[in-house]
């Protein structure tokens, strides 16, 4: 064992101290062995290193806010993602941060997930390779990353306790593949487990995930850390493969593991393995540290703008209304033009060096415009007067640039969206302006799909997503042709929420969420069910035009294990230089198991000069034609024919060629003829159909605990519908969070902290800093169960004992 000389001399207490944090953002040091402490910090679209004396989420050191993951994924550019990683790493080095807590690669199962802005895609292949490039960029500078959240953390609602119920094939094909790609191609220093359970087992103690698949099958050798407060049973987590608990537990969970070792319930070898992993990490980070490192704030801002320009998606350009004419005065409407939404809310929030709004960007180009907000950003304030003033101005202009989108109130970490609609004040403004029959161009700022009832009445639509601190400069350059749009959607924009495949099953019943739709997530559902969408996966326009020709295959017949190599010619048939994303999908001809109509298996972004051509080459591996077979516990290749589709988006088939694997699996078909999975559609998937797919009993529905049944595993939210006491405690908690963090009522940080409190199992609250000792659990539960005097006495006694210990420690 590596570092055996050190580990063999450590006491059990010293070993366990290494396996939990020293406070919220550092690992434990052991000075007598020269073991350093390293700093970890939130990312992933910029450094969020908290000011140590502050408890406010948004109070952190100044840093560059780069475009968020949803934006970067829309670039479909691995080189750009690598450059982004290198750039953020420089800021980590300057702040002595050893581990950047990102990237997040969870699949966008539903567009309602409040944290989707922090994730890449609905497709695991695209998410995996963009993440790999980003990780390679960060780690090339000697800064570690933390690939997260492993696994099936696809919603914010009850994320600390929900059980994601998912069949094994779907788990392996859809929810683990992006982690597998990143682990095998970029070897992240750390991997972060998620809060939730997967099939009734908390991720923090899930041996199947953390050991059997991650370490034994994929060969991962780094550190597995918990998300902040994700540990359930520390003594179970250590042998399952969880090395580091974050944040620090003040020795309480260390004692649980020590007791398990001393009682013989836990073999100390698992502790030693975890300590070895931690020593390897901290010594590696210590070696890579560069004290006194500096970086150029201006250069990083330029890179942030370049990423934003390469990632924005042109969704509509009717009659080539774009790019706009600089010599023509326009009207700019929308408060987001002046106060941009350029990043998400929550633990990833970056305290930006600077912010460039769309108005700033227009000013830099010398554009003549008049501006009116048109609506307020605070949903609690009336927008009537602002809307009326905007409409009055609009009558005097031929061209109107509308800036609209989602605010932090509508999407943030900690809670999910309830609708795909834009804020009503913005919809009202759009309704009035589109009545005027003007030339309307929309700049849309949001972190996830929205419905667009106004789309047919506008001529141009540029989606900036959340474009980072330089978003305004990027948008202005794109709108006026100083840059050519080249982004493409990394997710589907549905026509309506009801069209999404998990609409009936998201976010679950409180105890569990059933992934009934199986592998049919995002475009895998829409293409197979032949469902119309607003904008398809992979869609994006340019100011030039591209044509695909000459799909050249080296062969049409292959054996199991052969690489399928081919090339395609991409021609720029327009008058402007531009970049095109070439997408490659695989379609099985006669599948022996229900499979999506097509799946993304390769992509490349290529620059092509006007009236020129480039040849783009691809190589597909055996795995690209496989599905996961539950019986053999392996990815299987069926003998037979497959189409290779070279496309501009998932609904396109610009070039198609057929290849045949002459050997491979030949077992009989096992399609359920009448099953939803064989014919995905709008109808509800029955429980019996899902149970057959799941191959295990469905979880029981959650029943809120009654008086006398409340336990430490329950949530305050479970009692609030029937308990005035619970509602009172929740109100006090909300007031306390607001007071301590100094945030306003409409600040998403308040909502995040409040929901964290009411949706956290009672016994986990100490991990989040809430004033509740684990020893007080018995007293608190007694109070809720109808024994207020007994329970209060226990709590007071425990508080007194804790106070005495604190005073004694101070002396």
Active centre residues (catalytic): 227
Q: Which candidate, 252, 196, 195, 244, places its Cα nearest to that of 222?
A: 244
- Tokens 């050893």: give the residue: 98
The answer to whether 465 and 448 have CB atoms below 8 angstroms apart is no
What is the 8-class DSSP label of residue 3? T
Cα radius of gyration (the chain): 27
Q: Which candidate, 74, 70, 179, 91, places its Cα nearest to that of 135?
A: 179
Contacts with 701 (C-beta within 8 Å, 6 or more apart), sequence order: 509, 511
What angle (nearest 5°) sits at the alpha carbon of residue 465, between those of residues 364 and 160?
140
Backbone φ/ψ region at 478: left (φ over 0), alpha (ψ -120 to 50), beta: alpha
Strand partners, 587: 643
Contacts with 173 (C-beta within 8 Å, 6 or more apart), sequence order: 124, 519, 627, 628
- Taking every pair of Cα atoms in the chain, the longest distance, rounded to a whole number of angstroms, is 83
The answer to whether 191 and 146 have CB atoms below 8 angstroms apart is yes
The answer to whether 30 and 20 have CB atoms below 8 angstroms apart is no
The answer to whether 346 and 414 have CB atoms below 8 angstroms apart is yes
| H helix runs in 605-649, sequence order | none
| Helix, strand, coil content of the chain in percent (nearest 5) | 35, 20, 45
Q: Is the dihedral of CA 498, 499, 501, 507 positive or negative?
A: negative
Strand partners, 405: 445
Q: How many helices (H) and strands (E) does the chain have?
A: 23, 27
The answer to whether 654 and 548 have CB atoms below 8 angstroms apart is yes
Structure token digits, residue 166: 């998912």
Distance from C-alpha of 293 to C-alpha of 144, rounded to nearest angstrom? 16
What angle (nearest 5°) sits at the alpha carbon of residue 91, between those of residues 90 and 96?
100
The CA-to-CA distance between both ends of the chain, in Å, stands at: 42
Q: Is the peptide bond before 697 cis (omega within 30 degrees of 0)?
A: no
- Where would I find the beta strands (DSSP E) of 264-380? 313-317, 330-333, 351-352, 369-372
If you count them, how many residues does the chain have?
A: 811
What is the 8-class DSSP label of residue 624? G
Distance from C-alpha of 175 to C-alpha of 112, rounded to nearest angstrom? 17
- Where would I find the beta strands (DSSP E) of 406-463? 439-445, 460-463
- Tokens 């849309």: give the residue: 444
What is the 8-class DSSP label of residue 795? H
Contacts with 547 (C-beta within 8 Å, 6 or more apart), sequence order: 570, 571, 573
Distance from C-alpha of 734 to C-alpha of 728, rounded to nearest angstrom? 10
- Tokens 């100011």: give the residue: 543
The answer to whether 160 and 764 have CB atoms below 8 angstroms apart is yes
- Tokens 């980003």: give the residue: 134
Backbone φ/ψ region at 388: left (φ over 0), alpha (ψ -120 to 50), beta: alpha
Distance from C-alpha of 156 to C-alpha of 414, rounded to nearest angstrom? 5
């Amino acid at each position: 064992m590596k570092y055996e000389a050190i580990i063999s001399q450590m006491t059990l207490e010293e070993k366990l101290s290494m396996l939990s944090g020293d406070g919220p953002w550092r690992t434990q040091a052991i000075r007598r062995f020269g073991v350093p402490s390293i700093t970890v910090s939130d990312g992933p679209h910029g450094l969020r290193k908290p000011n140590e004396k502050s408890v406010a989420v948004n109070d952190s050191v100044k840093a560059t806010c780069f475009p968020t993951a949803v934006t970067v994924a829309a670039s479909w550019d691995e080189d750009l993602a690598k450059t982004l990683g290198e750039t953020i790493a420089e800021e980590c080095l300057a702040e002595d941060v050893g581990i950047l807590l990102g990237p997040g690669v969870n699949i966008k199962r539903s567009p309602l997930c409040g944290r989707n802005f922090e994730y890449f895609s609905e497709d695991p292949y695209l998410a995996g390779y963009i993440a790999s490039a980003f990780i390679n960029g960060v780690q090339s500078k000697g800064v570690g990353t933390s690939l997260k959240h492993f696994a099936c953390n696809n919603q914010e609602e009850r994320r600390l306790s929900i059980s994601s119920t998912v069949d094994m094939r779907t788990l392996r094909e859809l929810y683990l593949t992006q982690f597998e790609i990143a682990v095998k191609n970029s070897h992240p220093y750390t991997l972060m487990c998620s809060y939730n359970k997967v099939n009734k087992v908390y991720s923090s103690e899930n041996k199947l995930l953390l050991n059997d698949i991650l370490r034994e099958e994929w060969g991962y050798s780094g550190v597995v850390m918990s998300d902040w407060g994700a540990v359930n049973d520390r003594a179970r987590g250590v042998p399952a493969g969880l090395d580091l608990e974050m944040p620090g537990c003040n020795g309480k969970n260390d004692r649980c593991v020590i007791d398990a070792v001393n009682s013989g319930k836990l073999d100390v070898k698992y502790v030693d393995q975890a300590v070895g992993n931690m020593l390897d990490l901290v010594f590696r980070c210590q070696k890579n540290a560069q004290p006194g490192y500096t970086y150029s704030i201006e250069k990083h801002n330029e890179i942030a703008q370049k990423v934003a320009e390469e990632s924005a998606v042109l969704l509509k350009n009717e009659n080539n209304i774009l790019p706009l004419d600089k010599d023509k005065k326009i009207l700019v409407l929308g408060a987001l033009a002046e106060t941009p939404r350029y990043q998400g809310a929550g633990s990833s929030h970056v305290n930006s060096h600077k912010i460039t709004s769309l108005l700033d960007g227009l000013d830099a180009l010398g554009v003549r415009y008049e501006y009116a907000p048109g609506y307020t950003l605070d949903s609690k304030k009336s927008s009537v007067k602002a809307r009326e003033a905007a409409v009055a101005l609009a009558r005097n202009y031929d061209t109107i640039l509308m800036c609209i989108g989602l605010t932090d109130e509508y999407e943030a970490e900690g809670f999910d969206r309830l609708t795909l609609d834009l804020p009503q004040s913005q919809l009202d403004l759009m309704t009035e302006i589109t009545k005027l029959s003007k030339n309307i161009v929309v700049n849309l700022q949001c972190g996830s799909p929205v419905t667009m009832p106004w789309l047919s009445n506008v001529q141009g639509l540029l989606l900036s997503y959340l474009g980072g601190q330089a978003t305004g400069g990027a948008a202005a350059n794109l709108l006026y042709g100083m840059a050519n749009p080249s982004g493409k959607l990394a997710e589907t924009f549905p026509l309506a929420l009801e069209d999404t495949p998990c609409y009936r099953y998201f976010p679950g019943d409180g105890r569990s969420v059933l992934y009934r739709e199986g592998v049919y997530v995002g475009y895998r559902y829409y293409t197979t069910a032949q469902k119309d969408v607003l904008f398809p996966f992979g869609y994006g326009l340019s100011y030039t035009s591209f044509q695909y020709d000459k799909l050249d295959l080296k062969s049409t017949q292959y054996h199991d294990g052969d690489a399928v190599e081919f090339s395609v010619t991409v021609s720029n048939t327009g008058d402007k230089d531009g970049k095109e994303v070439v997408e490659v999908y695989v379609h099985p001809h006669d599948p022996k198991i229900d499979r999506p109509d097509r799946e993304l298996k390769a992509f490349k972004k290529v620059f092509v000069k006007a009236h020129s051509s480039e040849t783009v080459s691809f190589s597909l591996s055996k795995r690209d034609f496989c599905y996961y077979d539950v019986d053999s516990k392996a990815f299987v290749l069926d003998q037979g024919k497959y189409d290779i589709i070279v496309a501009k988006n998932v609904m396109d088939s610009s070039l198609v060629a057929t290849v045949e694997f002459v050997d491979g699996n030949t077992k009989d078909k096992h399609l359920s003829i009448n099953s939803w999975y064989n014919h995905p559609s709008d109808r509800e998937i029955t429980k019996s159909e899902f149970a057959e797919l799941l191959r295990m009993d469905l979880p029981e529905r959650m029943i809120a605990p009654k008086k006398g049944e409340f336990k430490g595993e329950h949530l305050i939210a479970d009692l609030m519908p029937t308990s005035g006491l619970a509602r009172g405690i929740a109100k006090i908690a909300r007031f306390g969070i607001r007071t301590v963090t100094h945030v306003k009522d409409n600040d998403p940080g308040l909502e995040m902290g409040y929901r964290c409190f009411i949706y956290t199992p009672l016994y986990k609250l100490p991990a989040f800093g809430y004033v509740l000792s684990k020893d007080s659990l018995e007293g608190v539960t007694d109070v809720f169960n109808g024994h207020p005097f007994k329970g209060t006495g226990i709590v007071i006694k425990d508080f007194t004992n804790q106070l005495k210990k604190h005073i004694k420690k101070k002396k």
